[in-house]
Structure 1
Amino acid sequence: MLYHSEVLTVLKVVVIGIEGEINMGFIVRLCKNFDVDELAIVNPQIDPWSEEVRRFAAKGVDYLYSSRVKVYNTLDDALKNVSISACTSGVVSIEGIDILRRAIELDEFVNIAVRYDDVAIVFGRESVGLTRDEIAKCDLLVHIAANPEYPILNLSHAIGIVLYALYKAFKKSSVLDKIDKASEEQLHILDRYIDELATIVSSNEFQKELFTISLKRLFRRTLLSRSEVGLLITFIRRIYSKIKKEESTA
């Protein structure tokens, strides 16, 4: 389940008429990667639990045998109790004449999705995508920006892109959250050494200010760990000491 602003969001991936076992395996793996609550398979054309599917699911195979993977006969059944649904298509109406194929960009959908508790994203067949009737059953049509000369993405690739965007938007935990981040005290010490180094590198006050501001902003924008800041402090301190020593012996 995905969390945002203290609200629990249930995310469902709906795949209609899947035709390829390899794609099915990759999709299962992606659903585990991004902690999808339910993978709804509508009228599959292959065995979702075949040996080939299991092989390409890799270490996500346990997801395949969990209660999260469900098979439905119709899209209507798969979309029951969903607050908002969106389907994806590489074929959209550029001029907006075909209202049914009037799409929004993925970023816009993500901004909408974060307001709902139950979200479903619907994907079509590898060969022909979604029918017009299936598109009409969804609340929104989403387009993933790609090269206009070849905008049709592989099914599992499209699912991966959408899930990543939703995962980030809902502020799901990341392995990077476990990094031992540098403290403000450490960063202030680093700032002091940057100031001291800038003082001996340049006598021009304006240039010195540019040096210090640029470096301080650079380090603030970077997710530095405690050990990384420690190494930077040691590095700058040694440069400072070496320059001062050379100045004293000159």
Structure 2
Amino acid sequence: MLSNIRIVLVATTHPGNIGAAARAMKNMGLSDLALVTPKIFPSDEASARASGADDILESARVFDDLDAAVADCHRVIGASARLRTIAWPQLTPRESAELAMGDAGRHKTAIVFGREHAGLTNEELERCHFLLHIPCNPDFSSLNVAAAVQVITYELFQATRAGAPPNTAKEQEPLATGEQMESFHKHLVQTLFDVGFLHERKSSPSLTRKLRRIFNRALLEQSEIHMLRGILTAVQHRLGTRDVPRGS
């Protein structure tokens, strides 16, 4: 079950944190590590901090952006010490583990950790279905990224031992992957431009962010994505426009 859980580190500055995260993963039985634009990797310091988890480092994949790192994942959980202006569905480490393990045999989950100094950007958080917040001392609430990885991997390991309750909400159809969701979001934004709901100079980024939140929260199935994109395409055909995504 843990083989379907991916730990993603975004723009890690200190290679020692990559090694410590790899060690935490191996301690708790995880093996899928993805790195998004790490400042230094591979590194002797990462290997030293891994303390025997060299196989995790050797199999780690490096990506140019977060979209590529989670493209094949059905659920994305972003860790953040800061609560955001636009509320995201929020989970504790234990809730995140129970959710991820509830159907880990069928769906792949990515748990994303941001930069040491700034965490995840709002744009990166837009790619996430849930926000993972680790409760800490409010006067000193920022955890080291490797320590945060240790907390969540421990909860994942405990969930396997306890036998997490099955997630039956989406048993019939596979969930949409990150790549499918991103393609849908771009198609949606393009269509909203086409019908005049969005305008080049007047559209607020917070509006498209809220739209992302609505559809991410729904945990759409692949068949539902196909249906929604079919509706968008029909609208574009009626307008005589082409599906050339402008992004969001």
The two structures have a TM-score, normalised by structure 2, of 0.60
Who is 2:87 aligned against?
A: 99
Alignment of 1:114-129 (within 5 A): 114-117=101-104, 118-129=108-119
Alignment check: 8 A CA contact 1:83 1:116 kept: no
Decide whether aligned partners of structure 1 residues 28 and 110 sit closer, same or farther in structure 2, where only a CA change above 3 A counts. closer
Alignment check: 8 A CA contact 1:84 1:116 kept: no
Alpha-carbon separation, structure 1, partners of 2:49 and 2:95: 32
Alignment check: 8 A CA contact 1:29 1:58 kept: yes
Could you say which structure has the larger radius of gyration?
1
- Does residue 30 (structure 1) correspond to residue 2 (structure 2)? The answer is no
Alpha-carbon separation, structure 1, partners of 2:160 and 2:146: 21
- Does residue 89 (structure 1) correspond to residue 76 (structure 2)? The answer is no
Shift of 1:159: 0.4
Alignment check: 8 A CA contact 1:26 1:56 kept: yes
Q: Higher helix share goes to which structure?
A: 1
Who is 2:150 aligned against?
A: 160
Shift of 1:31: 1.9
Decide whether aligned partners of structure 1 residues 37 and 53 sit closer, same or farther in structure 2, where only a CA change above 3 A counts. closer
Unaligned runs of 5+ in 2: 164-248
Decide whether aligned partners of structure 1 residues 26 and 158 sit closer, same or farther in structure 2, where only a CA change above 3 A counts. same
Decide whether aligned partners of structure 1 residues 33 and 105 sit closer, same or farther in structure 2, where only a CA change above 3 A counts. same
For the residue of structure 2 that corresponds to 1:13, the secondary structure is: strand
Alpha-carbon separation, structure 2, partners of 1:112 and 1:162: 12
The two structures have a TM-score, normalised by structure 1, of 0.60
**Matched letter for residue 24 of structure 1:** I
- Does residue 63 (structure 1) correspond to residue 60 (structure 2)? The answer is no
For residues 56-77 of structure 1, the C-alpha deviation after alignment (integer angstroms, 9 at most, x for no partner) is 1111123322x3x111111111
For the residue of structure 2 that corresponds to 1:170, the secondary structure is: helix
Alignment check: 8 A CA contact 1:23 1:156 kept: yes
Alignment check: 8 A CA contact 1:10 1:37 kept: no
Alignment check: 8 A CA contact 2:101 2:159 kept: yes
For the residue of structure 2 that corresponds to 1:77, the secondary structure is: helix
**Matched letter for residue 92 of structure 1:** L
For the residue of structure 1 that corresponds to 2:52, the secondary structure is: helix
* Corresponding residue pairs, total: 160
Shift of 1:172: 8.3
Q: What is the root-mean-square deviation of aligned Cα atoms in Å?
A: 1.9
Decide whether aligned partners of structure 1 residues 172 and 107 sit closer, same or farther in structure 2, where only a CA change above 3 A counts. closer
Who is 1:74 aligned against?
A: 65
Matched-pair identity in %: 31
Alignment of 1:103-182 (within 5 A): 103-117=90-104, 118-171=108-161
**Matched letter for residue 76 of structure 1:** D
For the residue of structure 2 that corresponds to 1:147, the secondary structure is: coil
**Matched letter for residue 130 of structure 1:** L
Alignment check: 8 A CA contact 2:93 2:151 kept: no
For residues 200-227 of structure 1, the C-alpha deviation after alignment (integer angstroms, 9 at most, x for no partner) is xxxxxxxxxxxxxxxxxxxxxxxxxxxx
Decide whether aligned partners of structure 1 residues 166 and 59 sit closer, same or farther in structure 2, where only a CA change above 3 A counts. same
For the residue of structure 2 that corresponds to 1:122, the secondary structure is: strand
Shift of 1:168: 0.6
Alpha-carbon separation, structure 2, partners of 1:111 and 1:33: 19
Alpha-carbon separation, structure 2, partners of 1:103 and 1:11: 19
Structure 1 stretches of 4+ with a deviation exceeding 6 A read: none
Q: Greater relative contact order (Cα 8 A, min sep 6): structure 1 or 2?
A: 2
